[in-house]
Amino acid sequence: MPFVQRHEEIIKKLKPYSYGRLWLNAFVFSIFIFIINSLYLFLRRGDYDLFIANKALATSSLMLIGFSLALSGLCYFWDFVDTKIIYRKHLGLIGFFLAGAHVIVSGFFLSNKFTAAWFESKKISMLFGGLALLVFLAMAAISNRYLIHELGGKYWRAFMRFGGYLAFIFIILHFSLLKYPEWLKWLSTGKPFLPPLSLIGVIFGLAVIVLRLALWLAVKRTDRK
């Protein structure tokens, strides 16, 4: 079935909803993801402070944006997820705001840990993180009815899809370049028992990319019939 037709069928299943309710549900889900990530880091490290909470913010941002991107594929392949398609925008924007909060906390409240020398040593990772934020900022800026009308639905959706996945790949690169020494250390020692949360986040991110490729192949195969 063509993706557009499948999307129209999904929309027809939806019950009437209020935008306030959508934001509330998305916010509650986001808090849940943050709490789960915080508990995981507490169990792994044995303590919890602003520095660790900031790590939870970063990974929660990645996961929420990942869920936002993954919903199209999840709805296409599994009917039981269909009614959640309406949360794409909300989860993506909350993920973007959490990324912004992560930047603010790192730069203003943890400046003793994230010094100029530290940023210089991680400049490539920081570059990808900055690029991701810029793309998401552009996407947030055009997420309104006026610009959707001005750009045209087809071009607007194409930009949002391309921009979303491009920025998401930048996030994965940001995490990977920043955290791979910690991953190698854990793989070689197995300590602590739980793997780094950043590694779990990147694996989740790669799964989102694979799901998108699977959706693209499925739609291509359908179009050929």
Which residue matches tokens 């020398």? 117
| Weakly modelled stretches of the chain, pLDDT under 50 | 1
| Interior angle at CA 100, CA 164 and CA 62, nearest 5 | 45
Give the whole-angstrom CA distance, residue 55 versus residue 41.
Answer: 8
Pick from 135, 120, 213, 218: which is nearest to 170 by CA? 135
Give the whole-angstrom CA distance, residue 114 versus residue 169.
Answer: 23
Give the whole-angstrom CA distance, residue 170 versus residue 133.
Answer: 9
Predicted confidence (pLDDT) per residue in 110-141, tens digit:
999 898 899 999 999 999 999 999 999 888 87
- H or E, element range at 29: helix 19-45
pLDDT for the residue 93: 92
Predicted confidence (pLDDT) per residue in 20-42, tens digit:
888 999 999 999 999 999 999 99
Give the whole-angstrom CA distance, residue 14 versus residue 84.
Answer: 9
Ranges of each domain in the chain:
3-224
pLDDT for the residue 144: 66
pLDDT for the residue 161: 84
pLDDT for the residue 3: 53
pLDDT for the residue 57: 97
Give the whole-angstrom CA distance, residue 183 versus residue 154.
Answer: 41
**Helix, strand or coil, per DSSP, at residue 152:** coil
Distance of CA 151 to the CA centre of its chain: 25
Q: Quick check: 94 and 30 in contact, CB under 8 A?
A: yes
Q: Quick check: 92 and 164 in contact, CB under 8 A?
A: yes
Pick from 182, 188, 207: which is nearest to 66 by CA? 207
Taking the CB of residue 92, how many other CB atoms lie within 10 A of it? 26
Give the whole-angstrom CA distance, residue 83 versus residue 97.
Answer: 24
Tokens representing 99 are 């990324």
